[in-house]
Amino acid sequence: MTEIKSQLEEIQEAFKQEEHRTEKEFNIFNALYRKDNERFHSRFISYLLSSESKHGMKSKFLEAFIQVLSEQGNGDILTKFDFSNCIVRPNEEKKEEHEKIDILISNEKQAIVIENKIFAIDSYHPTTEEKPQHQLDTYCKKMKDGTNKEKSREYIIAIYLALNTRDPKGIKIEHKPLIKIDYQKHILTWIRKCIEITDNSFILKNILLQYESIIIGLTSNLGRATVLKKLIGKNIDIAWNWKKYICEEMGDFRHVKWLTINDFWVELAETLRNELKVEICKENDIEEITKVAHKENGSTGINFKLENGEEWYIVNDNINGLTFGKILPEKEEKQWYDISRNIKFTDFSNEDTFMLINGEKRKETIKLLIEEIAKKI
């Protein structure tokens, strides 16, 4: 038991050192955004990639991006794309996502569709087929078939950008060619190349250095939090005996709570899709999870829709715990039900909640919830 506590303290110390280092540094991005804000990252990456941006580097950042991806074994895919006359969206003039695509690089006949995922759930869109389609497949199909805003493209590359290189959770991406990249390996390497080639602008280079620091903080914090969560989860019964130390004295335990809550909603949404064949119409909210995990107040939840159009919700709050019910718009009220476990994400000193750190315990709870929902819908 003392060995587990020693390991927990060692990881905690690493957290403290990193947080102390970053707190001392001035970083404009910290003042404006959260590190895990996907829209912020998409907008800034798109700004750098666009040759029309006022950073003054023309297409050099885009060329560096293609070089990094090519060096990782994607050269054959990328050499077929004409980058000499392409447009990147969003951009300085048109700041909104085009066709809901996080980042779109396109010319007259080709397109690169980039989907950016940090912690948000992968979305799936209903099709005429029996199974839903990953959102990246939907966007690529739009580029291939054309829309009211876009003419059809002959060659489309799909890029799935995640915090760490991984497949999307749930339904896989069918579109080919597909390139999977991450922040820790690809984006960080690319930003460092951008810093190297930026010699004539002190301001731009410092902005890039600050963004580099954001990525380092984002990926390193996640890595340590993941290790800490894995250690607690693997030794969940022993860790429960240390609950006072873990829940009250480990300041960075909030990162473990955050990851656990997010994993719960992601896994629950995927199980709902697979077993009850529903559509997730409201995903878990990253800001809500942060408030619950860090400030221990508020609520988190998701909504799903049945084939008959009924909309249901599942929510966890500090009063009722985990509940679910049907939304009745005509009466502007909700018909709700409790589940049989006392789970409150605002209170990890509660045993049922604490046990969710363990993956198997989490699956058991999700299975129970699915069974109870199936009886009511």
Average pLDDT along the chain, 377 residues, taken 10 residues at a time: 67 58 66 82 96 93 95 90 93 84 95 89 60 88 86 94 77 92 92 91 90 83 81 90 84 86 92 90 85 89 92 91 85 70 90 95 94 91
Q: Which of 225, 217, 198, 94 is nearest to 149 (CA)?
A: 94
- Residue 210, pLDDT score: 92
**Count of residues in the chain:** 377
Q: Which of 3, 13, 8, 10 is nearest to 247 (CA)?
A: 8
Do 301 and 367 reside in the same domain of the chain? yes
In a domain, 182, yes or no: yes
Do 150 and 60 reside in the same domain of the chain? yes
Do 45 and 120 reside in the same domain of the chain? yes
Residue owning tokens 């909104």: 96
In a domain, 23, yes or no: no
Give residue-wise pLDDT tens across range 230-252: 889 999 998 898 888 888 877 77
Of 133, 165, 197, the residue at which a domain comes to its end is: 197
Do 143 and 251 reside in the same domain of the chain? no
Do 192 and 288 reside in the same domain of the chain? no
Do 244 and 187 reside in the same domain of the chain? no
How many domains is the chain partitioned into structurally? 2
Two structure tokens written together for 216? 């380092």
Q: Phi/psi at 159 (nearest 5 deg)? A: -125, 125
Do 183 and 79 reside in the same domain of the chain? yes
- Residue 122, pLDDT score: 73
Q: Is the pTM of this model over 0.75?
A: no
Do 106 and 254 reside in the same domain of the chain? no
Q: Which of 226, 234, 222 is nearest to 358 (CA)?
A: 234
In a domain, 117, yes or no: yes
Of 132, 164, 197, the residue at which a domain comes to its end is: 197
In a domain, 218, yes or no: no
In a domain, 232, yes or no: no
In a domain, 261, yes or no: yes
Do 138 and 251 reside in the same domain of the chain? no
Distances (CA, A) of 361 to 268, 271, 357, 358, 372: 13, 15, 8, 5, 17
In a domain, 3, yes or no: no
Give dist(CA 361, CA 268) in Å, integer.
13
Do 370 and 252 reside in the same domain of the chain? yes
Do 268 and 188 reside in the same domain of the chain? no
- Residue 128, pLDDT score: 47
Distances (CA, A) of 87 to 22, 167, 179, 234: 35, 28, 20, 48
Do 60 and 184 reside in the same domain of the chain? yes
**Which domain does 268 fall in, by range?**
238-376
- Residue 131, pLDDT score: 66
3-class secondary structure, 316: strand
In a domain, 227, yes or no: no
Edge-to-edge order in the sheet of strand 333-338:
279-282, 299-305, 311-317, 321-328, 333-338
